[in-house]
């Protein structure tokens, strides 16, 4: 038994985690560089590296000249040593992607959500068949997966008997036991875990690890799609916390939100409500098409590329939406005083740089001056795949926390808390 109640096994796992983490985010590195990067002695580094190479997790990646001595061998995490699946249960489609350990995409598939959108059985079938399809496309055996991460709309609760349960009021999900439904008849062996979390939070995790949030201590990542949501990242909650920002009341006795309440931000700022307001004001909204296509048509009408006159109705609705979004962001600025706010989600990316200056202007006008002067408001960098990347990070973080050990199929062996694992794996 080591000090502080930690066993020798715990210390070995922590040392493996430290080396893997630094190689993953800062590599390739030499053994000499790993010492100060991890705080481990040279002997510990050598032992851990030898162990990781023997397990196939670390490989050589060339060499670099040293001052007056032999060239130093560089090391990196072996990309093919692990695979994860990320799933985005989005508002217009279910997207499933297979990644290697370096988060390089190996295969993907999408299932549009049309008339049957958000029926639980349909979503479960899309996820299951999507997993089957990407594994077959890459020729990967299911048991080689480290896990499947899934980003969903709504609040996710962990239960002892049913696993992850989703409370998605806006999509009609009332305590849906999604994990147990997926496990029943799953194409995956029991040894491959599911990690289910809020989609805004997985988006935030991806941007903080690999995107526009990298290096920030306090950030808010906004998901702007059919509705709106946000993920808060601070030193106290480094792993991020989903914030039901879309259901802040912005107008007393206002429009009815899809959650059932009146005056929510989402009733004015989500793409679904944006298109509804355009239609109500007499706009020519394309019929029999999905929201993404309709929003593209609205943008083309408001900002014509050929020099034609803009559709004044579409332009007015977009300008009003920018003000509502800005006012909603000002609440986040005043409450949390972030250094960065990043906007992602399919609608946020589609509206893009043309829309963001107006949102930024309104946000700073409504917010208190001191926190407003310190915040930057930008688009996310990871594009439409950010939620699936963030979802794939969930099993990756669990893998790190296990020191590069695969999940133990023995249910009597306690698993590390993967949510907590995310907190300490943020890149420097």
| 132-154: pLDDT as tens digits | 999 999 999 999 999 999 999 88
pLDDT for the residue 323: 94
- pLDDT tier at 308, thresholds 50, 70, 90: confident
What is the pLDDT confidence band of residue 413, given thresholds at 50, 70 and 90?
A: very low
Q: How high does pLDDT run on average in the chain?
A: 86
CA distance 174 to 169: 7
Mean pLDDT of 370-398: 92
What is the pLDDT, as a whole number, of residue 116? Answer: 47
pLDDT value of residue 366? 95
pLDDT at 378 over 60: yes
Please state the pTM of the whole predicted model.
Answer: 0.85
pLDDT at 397 over 70: yes
In the chain, what is the straight-line distance between the N-terminal and C-terminal CA atoms, in Å?
31
- pLDDT of 415: 45
| pLDDT > 90 in the chain, percent | 48
Confidence at 395, pLDDT banded by 50, 70, 90:
very high
- The C-alpha atoms of residue 238 and residue 242 are separated, in whole angstroms, by 12
The two tokens of residue 221 are 């990542």
Q: pLDDT tens digits for 70-127?
A: 788 899 999 999 999 999 998 788 999 999 999 999 999 999 887 547 889 999 999 9
Confidence of residue 418 (pLDDT cuts 50, 70, 90): very low
Token code pair at residue 129: 């068949």
Tell me the CA distances in angstroms from 242 to 175, 205, 354, one per residue in order. 17, 10, 27
Contact present, 422 and 39 (Cβ < 8 Å): no
Q: Provide the pLDDT for residue 321.
A: 93
Question: In which region does residue 282 sit, left (phi positive, over 0), alpha (psi from -120 to 50) or beta (all else)?
Answer: left
Neighbours of 420 (CB within 10 A): 13
Is 402 strand, coil or helix? coil
pLDDT tens-digit series, residues 188-237: 898 899 999 998 889 888 998 888 888 888 899 998 988 888 888 876 65
For the record, the structure tokens of 372 come out as 């407003």
Structure confidence at residue 23 as a pLDDT band (50, 70, 90): very high
pLDDT, mean of residues 382-411: 84
pLDDT tens for 45-56 read: 999 999 999 999
Q: How far is 267 from 248, CA to CA, in rounded Å?
A: 10
Question: In 3D, which of 144, 160, 150 has the Cα closest to residue 182?
Answer: 150
Q: What is the pLDDT of residues 263-273, one digit of tens each?
A: 999 999 888 89
Residue 55 has a pLDDT of 92
What are the phi and psi torsion angles at 332 (to 5°)?
-65, -40
pLDDT for the residue 410:
46
**Given this model, what pLDDT does residue 422 score?**
54
pLDDT for the residue numbered 237: 56
Report d(CA 345, CA 370) in Å as an integer.
28
For the chain, the residue count is 428
Among the residue ranges 87-96, 254-263, 406-415, the one predicted with the least confidence is: 406-415
Mean pLDDT of 18-26: 91
As a whole number, mean pLDDT of residues 396-405 equals 90
State yes or no: pLDDT of 69 exceeds 70: no
Give me the pLDDT at residue 68, please. 61
Q: Give the model's pLDDT for residue 286.
A: 87
Does the pLDDT value for residue 322 go beyond 80?
Answer: yes
Distance CA 136, CA 142 (A): 9
Q: What is the pLDDT of residue 427?
A: 52
């Amino acid at each position: 038994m080591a000090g502080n109640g930690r066993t020798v096994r715990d210390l070995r796992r922590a040392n493996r985690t430290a080396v893997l983490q630094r190689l993953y985010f800062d590599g390739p590195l030499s053994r000499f560089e790993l010492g100060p990067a991890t705080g481990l002695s040279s002997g510990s580094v050598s032992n851990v590296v030898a162990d990781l190479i023997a397990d196939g997790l670390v490989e050589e990646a060339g060499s670099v000249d040293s001052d007056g001595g032999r060239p130093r061998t560089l090391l990196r995490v072996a990309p093919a040593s692990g695979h994860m699946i990320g799933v985005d249960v989005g508002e217009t489609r279910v997207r499933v992607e297979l990644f290697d350990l370096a988060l390089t995409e190996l295969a993907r598939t999408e299932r549009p959500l049309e008339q049957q959108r958000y029926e639980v059985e349909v979503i479960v079938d899309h996820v299951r068949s999507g997993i089957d399809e990407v594994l077959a496309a890459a020729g990967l055996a299911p048991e080689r997966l480290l896990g499947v991460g899934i980003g969903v709309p709504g609040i996710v609760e962990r239960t002892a008997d049913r696993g992850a349960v989703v409370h998605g009021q806006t999509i009609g999900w009332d305590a849906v036991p999604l994990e147990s439904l997926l496990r029943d008849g799953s194409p995956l062996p029991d040894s491959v875990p599911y990690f289910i979390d809020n989609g805004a939070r997985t988006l935030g995790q991806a941007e903080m690890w690999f995107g526009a949030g990298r290096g920030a201590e306090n950030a808010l990542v906004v998901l702007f799609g059919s509705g709106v949501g946000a993920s808060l990242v601070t030193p106290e909650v480094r792993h991020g916390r989903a914030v039901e920002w879309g259901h802040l009341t912005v107008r007393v006795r206002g429009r009815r939100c899809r959650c059932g309440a009146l005056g929510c931000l989402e009733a004015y700022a989500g793409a679904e409500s944006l298109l509804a307001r355009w239609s109500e004001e007499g706009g020519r909204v394309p019929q029999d098409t999905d929201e993404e296509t309709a929003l593209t048509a609205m943008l083309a009408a408001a900002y014509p590329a050929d020099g034609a006159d803009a559709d004044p109705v579409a332009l007015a609705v977009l300008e009003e939406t920018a003000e509502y979004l800005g006012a909603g962001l000002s609440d986040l600025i005043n409450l949390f005083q972030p250094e960065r706010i990043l906007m992602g989600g399919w609608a946020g990316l589609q509206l893009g740089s043309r829309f963001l200056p107006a949102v930024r202007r309104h946000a700073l006008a409504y917010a208190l001056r001191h926190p407003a002067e310190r915040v930057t408001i930008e688009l996310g960098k990871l594009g439409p795949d950010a939620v699936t990347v963030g979802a794939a990070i969930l099993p990756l973080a669990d893998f790190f926390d296990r020191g590069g050990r695969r999940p133990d199929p023995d249910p009597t062996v306690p698993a590390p808390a993967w949510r907590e694992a995310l907190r300490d794996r943020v890149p420097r």
